[in-house]
Amino acid sequence: MSGRRVIGDIGGTNARFAIAENGTYSALSHVAVRDHATLQDALIAYMATLPDHLRPSTGVLAIAGPVFGDHIKLTNQSWSFSITALKAALGLSSLVIVNDFAAIAMAIPYLPKTDVFPVGESRPGASGPIGIVGPGTGLGVSTLVPDRGQWIMVPGEGGHVTLPAVKPEEDQIIAVLRTRWSHVSAERVLSGSGLVNLYEALCTIAGRTPDQLSPADVTDHAIRGTDTTCVEAFKVFCAMLGTVAGNLAVTIGATGGIYLAGGILLRFKDAFASSPFRERFEAKGRFQDYLRKIPTFMILEESPALLGLANFVDRSAT
């Protein structure tokens, strides 16, 4: 796939559209998902604003959900669509849909060093498979595997693995959450709404009635130290994310590192860096030394998926 393309990073809360050519993108637009009934409506509205010299002939979109077949349904919001019908409605010669965290994985080789923040000790020269995990509206997971000088992107839905507990208090949290859901996935805690779920579960355990807080409220109280339950929720969030990231690292042999993405972490970069995340990432018993050698990084770029889509190569067509 070459030439000028429309690209989009479509999440559960926001969508970002742009026009990509030669590995870079322009004409960036942020759209609230709630402002449009369908993805088609949102894209048509965006493309109507473009001058003639930016009109695309192809498209690549990243969506927060699994990609199987022609009919696509986003996991954490109501948009659904047919790839074939959307391509026709937009007048495109081709349209490719990928998972949003697969698109972020594609961006890793193109990220400038200034957009990568080490969490823990840096490991110069690290090479091998790379894992990507990140909390946002949901929890995204993907993998990048080197192959003879190229990168192979492996999409997945690792945010829906069963949430692991390491400490007895985490067993208690999961027991509370299990009264709400029969399966407590990692995403139920490691996401924006997951922060609130953690806070409410901790209130239940303490016999306290929770306040009506948003994810931003929880993190704000945690960082400022104005609510002890929010402070604990943030600490548990970081620790459990470390465990899940460590699980990904040993599962795929991520000797090239684990990269953390998602809008939540960017809001408290320094607090996260000093949190229990890295300690729990390495806490794998006999494999602690193995994990110590794997670097972890936070992606500072706000829309890394767009960078990945701008450099996307459709290998299925070759």
* 23 Cβ contact list (under 8 Å, min separation 6): 110, 310, 311
Residue 318's pLDDT band, with cuts at 50, 70 and 90, is very low
Phi, psi of 60 (to 5 degrees): -135, 120
Please, are residues 151 and 144 in contact by the beta-carbon 8 Å criterion? yes
Question: What pLDDT does 148 receive?
Answer: 86
Mean pLDDT along residues 229-240: 96
- For residue range 45-75, list pLDDT tens digits in order: 999 999 988 999 999 999 877 788 899 888 7
Question: Which residue would you say has higher pLDDT here, 64 or 184?
Answer: 184
Residue 239's pLDDT band, with cuts at 50, 70 and 90, is very high
Residue ranges and CATH numbers for the domains of the chain are 5-105+304-317 (3.30.420.40), 112-300 (3.40.367.20)
Question: What pLDDT does 316 receive?
Answer: 57
- For residue range 75-113, list pLDDT tens digits in order: 767 788 999 999 999 999 999 999 888 899 999 999 988
CA distance between the termini of the chain: 10
- In 136-186, at which residue ranges do the beta strands (DSSP E only) sit? 139-147, 150-155
Cα–Cα distance for residue pair 60/81, rounded to 1 Å: 14
Checking if the pLDDT of 28 tops 70, the result is yes
Question: What pLDDT does 1 receive?
Answer: 47
Question: What pLDDT does 215 receive?
Answer: 93
Supply the mean pLDDT for the chain: 91
Residue 275's pLDDT band, with cuts at 50, 70 and 90, is very high
Question: What pLDDT does 61 receive?
Answer: 95
